[in-house]
Amino acid sequence: MEEVLPALRLAPTAQGNEVVMSLELMVGSAMAGLMAVALVIWRQPVFAFAVKSAEYSRNVRAEMRKVSWPTWDDLRRSTVVIVIIVFIVGMIIGLMDLLFSKLLIDFLGRAFSG
C-alpha cells in the first residue's frame, strides 16, 4: 500500500493536469473581476451609452441612404477641375513669393544696407 501512494501523488503531474497559477492568469482574473464590478456599479450609464450609440448608428445609416452620390463621370470632371485650380493657385502663390522676395530682399536690402 505504501508503494502505491507516492505514485498516486505524482499522477496529476505525470498526466499534465497540474494547475499552475501564473502571473498572467492572476492579472487577467483580477481585470475580469474589476470589469464585472465596474459594470455592476455603473451599469445604468453604460447601458444608456450603449442605447445612445445604437441610436446614433441608426441615424447615421438613415442619413447615408439619403445621400446622392456622384456618378463616375461627375467625379472625374470634378477631380480634373480641382487639379487645375490647385495648379493655378500654386502658380499664383509662387509668383507672389518671387515678387515679394525681390521687392523685400533686393530693393529694401539695398536701400537700408548703404
Which residue did the predictor score with more confidence, 92 or 43? 92
51 and 62 inside one domain: yes
33 and 63 inside one domain: yes
For residue 20, the enclosing domain spans 1-67
Report pTM.
Answer: 0.43
Q: Residue 81: is its pLDDT beyond 90?
A: yes
88 and 38 inside one domain: no
> pLDDT category, 4, cuts 50, 70, 90?
low
> Structural domain tally of the chain?
2
Average pLDDT for 84-98: 97
5 and 57 inside one domain: yes
57 and 75 inside one domain: no
What pLDDT, in 10s, does the model give residues 30-75? 999 998 888 788 778 878 888 999 999 999 999 999 999 899 999 9
Distance CA 107, CA 105 (A): 6
84 and 63 inside one domain: no
Given this model, what pLDDT does residue 10 score?
Answer: 59
Under a CB-based contact definition with an 8 Å cutoff, are residues 46 and 39 in contact? yes
35 and 56 inside one domain: yes
48 and 76 inside one domain: no
59 and 110 inside one domain: no
Which residue did the predictor score with more confidence, 100 or 81? 81
112 and 60 inside one domain: no
90 and 103 inside one domain: yes
